[in-house]
Amino acid sequence: MNELPNLDFNDDRLREECGIFGVYGHPDAAALTALGLHALQHRGQESVGIVSYDGERFNAERRLGLVSENFTKASVLEQLIGRNSIGHVRYSTTGETTLRNVQPLFADLAGGGLAVAHNGNLTNAVTLRDELVNSGCIFQTTSDTETILQLIARSKRGNTLARFIDALFKIEGAYALVVLTNKKLIGVRDPLGIRPLVIGELDGSYILASETCALDIIGANFVREVENGEIVVITDDGIESVKPFPPVKLQAMCFRIHLFCSAG
């Protein structure tokens, strides 16, 4: 039987939780990501991680502590070569504060490598994890973010984006995600838009961030917010908007939230 976490139901504040950041198409992608995460440090102080892609392989640095303690040295950033990167600062809502839970999480999948950084909390993570473990999946972390990776890996859809969408239809809760593949930077907000995600532009490159302060610190221009339930797919050809969630799903989720808020 799964033990319920010790929650204070009298504390109904919407916590900031984590900060996420992504860059596509800039020669200093990792350095910009470190600066962006520094601006988002108020969203999480437990750990910081950056994953970059250099056209051939993914490079990762994950550390416990603050951005300023770990990503100000050139020797560290020089390991994160590439024009595309994502990063994460963590305030844990699920999982231990250990190095194995530091995001972004990375996996080699059939369609290539994939890294995920997640801000939010999956309300059905325990149920999904139990189902995946019972079907033979092996988890390396205690973070609910790994559940998303496992769902993507097990999807039977034809390409990475389709598998990602398939996984999104299985998860519930408040979330914003940035995903890095060998060809794309992907961002998504949950259908209710509870977790923030914005789009920026800098010298022809695109930025995704939890807040506009992360755009300001690198001198990027604010483009717009990612809409509720929207997926933005950034490639060399520009930005594509995908809206996979039908209105009926949005209405159903709103009804569930209304019932939850009305109880007691």
- Give the model confidence (pLDDT) of 225-254 as tens digits: 999 999 999 999 999 999 999 864 555 555
Q: Rounded to whole angstroms, how far apart are CA atoms 31 and 18?
A: 19
What is the band of 94 on the pLDDT scale with cuts at 50, 70, 90?
low
Residues facing 114 on adjacent strands: 107, 181
Terminal Cα-to-Cα distance of the chain (whole angstroms): 26
Cβ contacts of 40 within 8 Å, gap of 6 or more: 19, 20, 21, 89, 209, 210, 211, 213, 214
What is the band of 111 on the pLDDT scale with cuts at 50, 70, 90?
confident
Q: Rounded to whole angstroms, how far apart are CA atoms 216 and 188?
A: 21
Give the pLDDT mean for 76-87.
97
Question: Is residue 222 in a domain?
Answer: yes
Whether the pLDDT of residue 110 is over 90: the answer is: no
259 neighbors 251 (Cβ within 8 angstroms):
no
pLDDT score at 264: 45
Question: Is residue 244 in a domain?
Answer: yes
Question: Is residue 11 in a domain?
Answer: no
Residue 261 falls in the annotated catalytic set:
no
Whether the pLDDT of residue 223 is over 70: the answer is: yes
Question: Is residue 1 in a domain?
Answer: no
- Look at the chain and report how many structural domains it folds into: 1
What is the band of 96 on the pLDDT scale with cuts at 50, 70, 90?
low
pTM of the model: 0.86
Structural domain of residue 46, as residue ranges?
19-262
Question: Is residue 6 in a domain?
Answer: no
59 neighbors 79 (Cβ within 8 angstroms):
yes
Question: Is residue 9 in a domain?
Answer: no
Question: Is residue 73 in a domain?
Answer: yes
Taking each continuous run of H as one helix and of E as one strand, the counts in the chain are 8, 13
pLDDT score at 88: 98
Whether the pLDDT of residue 127 is over 70: the answer is: yes
155 neighbors 98 (Cβ within 8 angstroms):
no
Question: Is residue 10 in a domain?
Answer: no
CATH classification at residue 86:
3.60.20.10
